Amino acid sequence: MRWVFFLITLFQEQNSTQKMEGIYFETAQHIQIRQRPATLGSRIMAQLVDAFVMGIYVVLVSITVFGIMKVEGNSVAVITLFVLPFLMYHLLFEIFMNGQSIGKFAMEIRVVQLDGTKATVSSYLIRWLLRPVDITISSGGIAVLSILMGGKGQRLGDIAAGTTVISLKQEAIKREDLLTQVKADHEPKYPQVVNLNDSQIMKIKNIRLEALKSHDFELINKLAEKTSKMLQVSYETKPLAFIDQLILDYEYFAQKE
């Protein structure tokens, strides 16, 4: 395992860059949204948590089967009871827990398709079939190399399945996170946005993002309506265009400060 930790150190800078850049998904409306891939450390910790859970399972089953029930250890039923959960653990949990094992749930990470949508059963199956190559046989070495060198947080199973693992953690609100490169010739239409604070504009961004990810355009309509009433402005464009304009205007005035 020493060489694995050497590779982790060697590619630490690259992994940090990956965390900052994130993964860009494009919606059906050709709008790009950013999602942070899970860090290598969080994925390793998730594996350790899952290993601990399976270890607890073995202990409890051993006490029940051999200590209480006094069952013969070489029976087919006992072998199945020990082996089958280990083989199916990740596949079943990811299918029935929306892309999360117990370890992934604890670390707040999830398997999704590369376009940000919920992974399919076939995708989970492909990841699971390649798990022995990625993790078991190579002691995780192939998975580590693939994740660090690929740039999208994908092990071989993810590449084959068209999936990745993302972080669900919310980052702290920072002014620099709110600012993007606004064109120098940008013409703000809603100067009233200066009455919003960082927290409010972040909530608007988050609601917009969630609505686009779930294709919930009724939520976009409600967001535009509520925001226009709050700022006491009217708009003639589509609700999404109005929200986008507000965000750009806010960032424009923020950069002028």
Q: Worst-scoring range by mean pLDDT, 38-42, 95-99, 170-174? A: 170-174
pLDDT value of position 216: 81
Q: Amino acid identity of 241?
A: A
Give the residue from 167, 184, 201 where a domain finishes: 167
Total domains present in the chain = 2
Mean pLDDT to the nearest integer, 96-125: 92
DSSP string, 162-218: TEEEEE-PPPPP-HHHH-----TT---S-GGGGGS-HHHHHHHHHHHHHHHHTT-HH
Cα separation, 163 vs 123, in Å, equals 7
Residues 34 and 134 in one domain: yes
Provide the mean pLDDT of the chain.
81
If asked whether residues 98 and 221 sit together in one domain, one would say no
**Both 69 and 190 in a single domain?**
no
Beta-strand runs (E) in the chain: 23-26, 32-35, 109-113, 163-167
Are 86 and 125 in the same domain? Answer: yes
Instruction: Determine the average pLDDT of the residues in 205-211.
Output: 86
* Residue 25 pLDDT exceeds 70: no
Q: Please tell me the distance from the alpha carbon of residue 20 to that of residue 161, in angstroms, as a whole number.
A: 24
Per-residue pLDDT for 18 more than 70?
no
pLDDT at 16 over 60: no
- pLDDT, residue 254, reads 80
CB of 118 within 8 A of CB of 98? yes
Domain shared by 40 and 134, yes or no = yes
Residues 193 and 151 both lie in one domain: no
For residues 59-87, give the mean pLDDT: 81
Segments forming the whole domain that contains residue 87: 2-167
Tens digit of each residue's pLDDT (9 = 90 or more) over 168-188: 875 544 444 444 567 777 889
